[in-house]
Amino acid sequence: MRIRFYALAATCLLAAGPVSAQQRIAVLDDTALAAQTCNVCHGSGSYISPTMPPIHGADANAIYGALIDFKTDKRPYTIMGRIARGYSDAQLKALADYLSKN
């Protein structure tokens, strides 16, 4: 039993190799999962979009302010207004806080 346990631990270490601590999404809660939807356009990690602003690590108030402006059509035309209207203000606030820290 002991030998088998160590063999398994070694397998796990091998599998764990390439995903760096920085890339890893450590906490998996409602906000963390919702925030991953943004990555399809805005990217994550070191990715920089040719047309869309980076949001991971940006200022939480700036993100939240922009989302509310989009939601209320103060910043019209892009798809962001249509997307922001899919969330409550509290959800947008939580997303802005998460993105600023991750």
Q: Is residue 75 involved in binding another protein (CB under 8 A)?
A: no
Contact yes or no for 100/63 (Cβ under 8 A): yes
Q: Is residue 90 involved in binding another protein (CB under 8 A)?
A: no
Q: Is residue 72 involved in binding another protein (CB under 8 A)?
A: no
Q: At what angle do helices 60-71 and 89-101 cross, to 10 degrees?
A: 150
Site string for another protein, 31-70 (x = CB under 8 A): -xxx-xx-xxxxxx--x-xxxx------------------
Q: Is residue 74 involved in binding another protein (CB under 8 A)?
A: no
Sign for the CA dihedral angle at 76, 81, 85, 90 comes to: negative
Contact yes or no for 53/43 (Cβ under 8 A): no
Q: Is residue 3 involved in binding another protein (CB under 8 A)?
A: no
Q: Is residue 16 involved in binding another protein (CB under 8 A)?
A: yes
Nearer to another protein, 54 or 65 (CB): 54
| Binding residues vs another protein (CB under 8 A) | 1, 4-5, 8-9, 11-12, 15-19, 23-26, 28-30, 32-34, 36-37, 39-44, 47, 49-52, 77-79, 82-87
